Amino acid sequence: MRMLRSASALFAFVAVASLLFASQSGQQPGTSSASAEAIGGQVHSITLPDISTEIPKGPHVDTFDRNCLTCHSARYVLTQPPFSKAVWESEVKKMVAAYGAPISAQDQERIVEYLDAINGAKSPQTAAPPK
Amino acid sequence: MHLRKTAQKTALSSFSRRRLLSTMASLAGVAAVRQAFGRDLNISALPGYAGLPSDTQPQQLVRYPQKTDLILLTDRPPQLETPLRYFRTDLTPNDAFFVRWHLAGIPTTVDLSSFRLEVGGHIHNPLRLSLNDLQSKFMPVTLVALVQCSGNARSLFEPRVPGGQWGNGAMGNARWKGVPLKDVLDAAGVLPGAMDVGLHGLDEPVLPQTPRFQKSLHIDHARNGEVMIAYEMNGEPIPMLNGFPLRLIVPGWYATYWVKSLSSITVLDQPLKTFWMDKAYRIPDNPQANESPQHLAADTVPISRMAVHSIFVTPESGEQLHVGKSYEISGVATDGGSGIRSVEVSTDAGQRWTAAELGQDLGRYSWRLWKMAWKPASAGHYRLMVRATTNSGETQATTQWNRSGYQRDMIEHCDVVVG
C-alpha cells in the first residue's frame, strides 16, 4: 500500500494499528453490511467498507500522499471548501503541533502548496482566518 | 490521476445537488439563490484537476456496517451524516444515526468476555466492570436525549471554516438505557479532593504521539445523577459505530463529551490536561459563541451545553411547491436541557411569525418535533424561517460566526419556489 511508504508511518501501523486494520484487507466494496453481525455471543465485530478516493493531481501530490494519508483519508481534504493559503498552512501546522505528524518543514511547505493548488480560495471572503 | 483502492460500487449511490441548484438558478434570481445556497454556488471549479473537492461533487451515500445509507463526509476515520428525512420521528433509528470518530483506530471488534470498563484514580476501590456487571449489579435508568455534534451545521457558517462540513444531520434523538455514572463512582468510592473525571474509549490514534481522544467532566457534573453509562440505544445494543458496548450520555451537552466505546474512567484531584479539552472543542467565551474573522475572541472556553436551535425537515431547501396545495412545514427544535417552550415559523422572510404545533414532549433533554400547515396562495419565491424559544427563555441568534463552526444557534431559513 502506497500510504505506508513513510518509515515512521509504517512503524506506527505495525506497532499500533495492525490489528485494527487487518480485518479490512480483501474486503470487497459493498459487502460490508453482510459482515456486520456479531460473530458469536460474546465477540461483536464489523468490517469497515473500502471506499475509494481519487486524489487530484497537483504539485507535490506525492508529498501529500506520503505524509497525510497515514492518519486520515484524502476525503478529509477533498470535502473542505476552498481556503486561503494561510488557512491551509494553519491546518498543516495543527497536524504537526497538535497531532504529532512527523512532517519535515520542507514537506509542510510542499503540502501547503499542494492544498492551495487543488483547493485554494479564489477570494479572501470565502476563507476563515487561520486558527 | 491516482485511484486509491478499487472503485466503490454497490455500497455507494449518489445524488446531485448541483443539478438541483442549476435548476434553481434558472428559476430564481441569482442573488436570492446565492444567499440561500451560498455554500454551493460560491465554489468555483478548479480547472485542470480531475478530482474535485466534494463541494463541487455530488453528495455520496454510503452504507457502513449496521447502518443504512448515510451521507459520506469522510471514510477514515468515518464521519457519516443522517439524511434529513430520518428526522420526521421522535426517535432517530439506530441504523440512521450519524457517525463521527476522531482517530482512525476505531474499535471494530469487541469481545465482551474480556471487555472491561476500568474505574480508577482518586478513589477507594478500583473497579473493572464487564457489561454484565453493569447490567446486573446496578439499577438501570432510561432517558430520551438528543446527541448533537459540536460542529453540526458547520457548512452553513459564512465565511466557511475548516472541519467536517456537516449539514444539519450530525445529531439524533434516542432513548438511552444504562446506569448513572454517579452510581458507578459511588461504588468506586470517590476520595475527598476529587476535581475532574477523565474519560476515554477504545479508539486509538494511528501514531503513538497523537493524543488519544479523552474528555473530562467536573466531578459535580459527573455525579449529578443524570450523566449515564448507556448500554442500550432505542432498546438495542449500541451500534459499533455509535460506541458499542458502552457510551457516556451527557444530557444537554454536545456529543464531544458522549465518549463512545467507553473503557476508562479516571477520577482526578486536578483538572485533566489534554489537547481535547485545552486546545480543541473550545468556543468564544460569550453566550452565543460569537466572534468575527477580523476580531477573534481572545478568551475561549470548552464547549458545553447545547444552544437552542431549530431546523426545517420539510420542505427541503430548493423544493418546488404548488399554489393552493396543502403542505406541512415541519422540523425539529433542540436545546441543552431546558426544553422547548415554543417554535415560530415565518413564510415571509421573517416579517410575520406564527406559532407552530409542538410534537410529543419526551422530556427536557429530548428534541421536540414541530409542524405547521401551509397552503401557499400565490406563486413566487418564499423564504421560510424558524425560531425556537426554550422554557428558560433562551432564543436564537440572528447572526453568528466562530472560527470552528461550533454551537450553531442561528435562525435558519429554507427557500422554496411556489409555482
pLDDT over threshold 70, residue A100: yes
Specify the pLDDT at position B92: 98
Q: How far apart are the first and last CA of chain B?
A: 44
- Roughly what angle, to the nearest 10 degrees, separates helices A105-119 and A61-68? 110
Distance in angstroms (rounded) separating the CA atoms of residues A95 and A71: 10
Mutation target to probe the A interface, by most A beta carbons within 10 A, among B109, B240, B241 is B109
> In the numeric block, which cell numbers belong to residue B31?
442573488
Q: Which residues 27-86 in chain A show a CB within 8 A of chain B?
A: 28-33, 35-36, 41-58, 61, 65, 70-83
Higher pLDDT among residues A125 and B418, named by residue: B418
Task: Cell 476525503: give the residue.
Answer: A75
Give tens-digit pLDDT for A40-87. Answer: 589 999 999 999 889 999 999 999 999 999 999 999 999 999 999 999
B44 min Cα distance to partner chain A (Å): 8
Cβ contact (<8 Å) for A17 and B206? yes
- Give the Cα separation of B317 and B320 in Å (integer): 9
If you ran DSSP here, which 8-state letter would residue A123 be given? S
Q: How many CB pairs under 8 A join A and B?
A: 238
Query: B333 is written with which cell numbers?
Result: 427544535
The type of residue at B64 is Y
Predicted pLDDT at B287: 87
What is the predicted ipTM? 0.84
Give the pLDDT of residue B281: 97
Residue A122 touches partner B, C-beta closer than 8 Å: yes
Whether residue A20 and residue B204 make contact (CB cut-off 8 A), yes or no, is yes
Dist CA B249 CA B228 (whole Å): 5
Buried b (16+ CB within 10 A) or exposed e, B377-386: eeeebbbbbb
Q: What's the gap in Å between the CA of A93 and the closest CA on chain B?
A: 14
Residue A52: what pLDDT?
87
Contact between A44 and B245 using a beta-carbon 8 Å cutoff? yes
Cβ atoms of A127 and A83 closer than 8 Å:
yes
Residue A8 pLDDT:
40
The band of B147, judged by pLDDT with boundaries at 50, 70 and 90, is very high
Is the CB of A54 less than 8 angstroms away from the CB of B161? no
Quick check: A109 pLDDT over 50?
yes
Cell numbers given for B205: 490514534
Query: What cell numbers appear for B219 in the block?
Result: 466531578
Confidence grade of residue A123 (pLDDT, cut at 50, 70, 90): low
Contact, B112 vs B95, CB < 8 A? no
Q: Are B57 and B43 in contact (CB under 8 A)?
A: no
Q: Given this model, what pLDDT does residue A40 score?
A: 52
Pairing of strands B117-121, B262-268: parallel
Three-state SS across B122-165? CECCCEEECHHHHHHHCCCEEEEEEEECCCCCHHHCCCCCCCCC
pLDDT of A18 reads 36
Contact A51 B103 (CB under 8 A): no
The model's confidence at residue B394, banded by pLDDT at 50, 70 and 90, is very high
How far apart are alpha carbons B64 and B241 in whole angstroms? Answer: 9
Rounded to the nearest 5°, which phi and psi values hold at B293?
-55, -30
Q: Is the separation of the CB atoms in B373 and B356 below 8 Å?
A: no
Nearest to B239 by CA among A45, A3, A100, A115: A45
Distance CA B178, CA B246 (A): 9
d(CA B62, CA B73): 10
Q: Are B190 and B267 in contact (CB under 8 A)?
A: yes
Q: What is the pLDDT of residue A41?
A: 83
Alpha-carbon span B309 to B394, nearest angstrom: 10
pLDDT band (50, 70, 90) for residue B418: very high
Cell 428558560 locates to B392
Q: Is the pLDDT of residue B340 over 70?
A: yes
Which residue among A56, A80, A101 places its CB closest to the CB of B51?
A: A56
State the Cα–Cα distance between residues B180 and B248, nearest whole angstrom: 10
Q: How far apart are CA A129 and CA B120, in angstroms?
A: 41
Asked if residue B303 has pLDDT above 60, the reply is yes
Amino acid at B36: A
Q: Which of B179, B102, B93 is nearest to B136 (CA)?
A: B179
More confident residue, B26 or A102: A102
For residue A52, is it left (φ>0), alpha (ψ between -120 and 50) or beta? beta
How confident is the model over A8-47, as pLDDT tens digits?
433 333 333 333 333 333 333 333 433 444 445 899 999 9
Is the pLDDT at B279 greater than 60? The verdict is yes
Predicted local confidence at residue A126, as pLDDT: 47
* pLDDT value of residue B374: 98
Task: Return d(Cα B354, Cα B282) in angstroms, integer.
Answer: 35
Nearest CA in chain B to A91: B162
Higher pLDDT: B410 or B34? It is: B410
pLDDT at B380 over 70: yes
Cα–Cα distance between B6 and B169 in angstroms, integer? 28
Q: How far apart are CA B343 and CA B369, in angstroms?
A: 9
pLDDT in tens, B13-45: 333 333 333 333 333 333 333 233 323 322 222
**What's the gap between Cα A33 and its chain centre?**
24
Question: C-alpha A55: how far from its chain's center?
Answer: 11
Give the separation between CA B86 and CA B80, rounded to whole angstroms: 14
Do A61 and B62 count as a contact with CB atoms less than 8 A apart? Answer: no
Joined grid coordinates for residue A60: 507535490
Neighbour count for residue A125 (Cβ, 10 Å): 12
Bridge-based pairing of strands B196-201 and B214-218 is: antiparallel
Burial code of B216-244, b = ≥16 C-beta within 10 A, e = fewer? bbebebbbeebbbbbbbbbeebbbbbbbb
Distance CA B276, CA B376 (A): 48
* Chain A residues whose beta carbon lies within 8 Å of the beta carbon of residue B208: 12, 15-16
For residue B109, the one-letter residue type is T
Average the pLDDT over B267-283 and give the result: 96
Task: Render pLDDT for B342-368 as a digit per residue (tens, 0 to 9).
Answer: 999 999 999 999 999 999 999 999 999
How high is the mean pLDDT of chain B? 89
Q: What percent of chain B has pLDDT over 90?
A: 85
pLDDT surpasses 90 at B405: yes
Question: Looking at residues B236-243, what average pLDDT do you find?
Answer: 98
Per-residue pLDDT band at B57 (split at 50, 70, 90): low
Chosen for mutation from A67, A79, A83, A85 (greatest number of chain B CBs closer than 10 Å) is A79
Report yes or no: A82 and B43 within 8 Å, Cβ to Cβ.
Answer: yes
What's the CA gap between B90 and B195, in Å, rounded? 36
pLDDT at A34: 37
Q: How far is CA A86 from CA B2, B32, B137, B281, in A?
A: 26, 30, 54, 21
Share of chain B above pLDDT 70, in %: 86
Q: Nearest by CB to B204, from A16, A43, A55: name it.
A: A16
pTM exceeds 0.90, yes or no:
no
pLDDT at A67: 97
Question: pLDDT tens-digit profile of B283-301?
Answer: 999 989 999 999 999 999 9
Q: pLDDT tens for residues B182-212?
A: 999 999 999 999 999 999 999 999 999 999 9
Local structure of B182: helix, strand or coil? helix
